[in-house]
């Protein structure tokens, strides 16, 4: 493994442990030339899943795009990076465990919204407004009214909406 500091190709593993999610191995390494330490991650190589967009274009599944959208929706909300990463991991797991070579962007968006709704309703509405491309106030209000009704059915106050 190439040292990120001096570029030397030889390093030794000092410590190795699975990540919290159990999806990768975290390794602490020490460069044999400069002696500085750095961290690497080893992940299972997965088969490439293609995402079918609304216009039927296809592109490689990229969990980092989901994370970016979630971070934007959760901006200035009491949602931790750990929560965001957990949603990304759940969606990623659903996509890969489906066994399908292609997965629609619509299904991915629905999975994200399902998880986000449980976490933070304001962030959910923000994400949904971009994802569902609300074109006017009435379509936006329709989504808000659905949330209010769901909260009432669950016996929760509708203070967040």
* pLDDT of the residue at 158: 53
Q: For residues 133 and 149, what is the distance between their CA atoms, to the nearest angstrom?
A: 22
75 burial type by CB count under 10 A (0-12 exposed, 13-18 middle, 19+ buried):
exposed
The verdict on 59 and 111 lying in the same domain is: yes
Q: Look at the chain and report how many structural domains it folds into.
A: 2
Tens-digit pLDDT profile for residues 47-65: 889 999 999 999 999 999 9
Mean pLDDT of 67-78: 95
The verdict on residue 3 lying in a domain is no
The verdict on 87 and 39 lying in the same domain is: no
User: What are the structure tokens assigned to 29, written together?
Assistant: 């390494």
Residue 127: which of 107, 151, 109, 104 has the closest Cα? Answer: 109
Query: Can you give the residue range of the structural domain that contains 16?
Result: 11-43
Evaluate if residue 8 carries a pLDDT over 50. yes
The verdict on 148 and 77 lying in the same domain is: yes
The verdict on 77 and 99 lying in the same domain is: yes
Tens-digit pLDDT profile for residues 86-144: 999 999 999 999 989 999 999 999 999 999 989 998 998 889 888 777 767 777 788 77
The verdict on 37 and 55 lying in the same domain is: no
* pLDDT of the residue at 159: 53
Evaluate if residue 16 carries a pLDDT over 70. yes
DSSP readout, 51-104?
EE-TTS-EEE--HHHHHHHHHHHTTTSS--HHHHHHHHHHHHHHHHHT--SEEE
The verdict on 100 and 117 lying in the same domain is: yes
Mean pLDDT of 38-43: 91
- pTM for this model (two decimals): 0.62
What pLDDT band is residue 161 in, cutting at 50, 70 and 90?
very low
The verdict on 17 and 69 lying in the same domain is: no
The verdict on 87 and 128 lying in the same domain is: yes
Q: For residues 28 and 13, what is the distance between their CA atoms, to the nearest angstrom?
A: 6
The verdict on residue 4 lying in a domain is no
The verdict on 24 and 82 lying in the same domain is: no
């Amino acid at each position: 493994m190439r040292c990120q500091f001096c570029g030397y190709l030889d390093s030794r593993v000092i410590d190795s442990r699975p990540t919290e999610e159990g999806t990768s191995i975290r390794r602490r390494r020490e460069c044999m030339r400069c002696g500085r330490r750095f961290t690497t991650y080893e992940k299972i190589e997965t088969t490439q899943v293609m995402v079918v967009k609304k216009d039927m274009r296809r592109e490689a599944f990229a969990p980092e795009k989901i994370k970016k959208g979630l971070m934007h929706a959760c901006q200035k909300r009491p949602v931790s990076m750990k929560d965001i990463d957990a949603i990304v991991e759940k969606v990623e797991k659903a996509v890969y465990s489906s066994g399908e070579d292609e997965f629609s962007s619509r299904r991915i968006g629905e999975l994200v919204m399902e998880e986000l709704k449980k976490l933070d309703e304001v962030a959910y509405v923000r994400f949904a407004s971009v994802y569902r491309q609300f074109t006017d106030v009435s379509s936006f209000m329709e989504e808000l009214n659905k949330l209010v009704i769901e909260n009432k059915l669950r016996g929760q106050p509708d203070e967040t909406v």
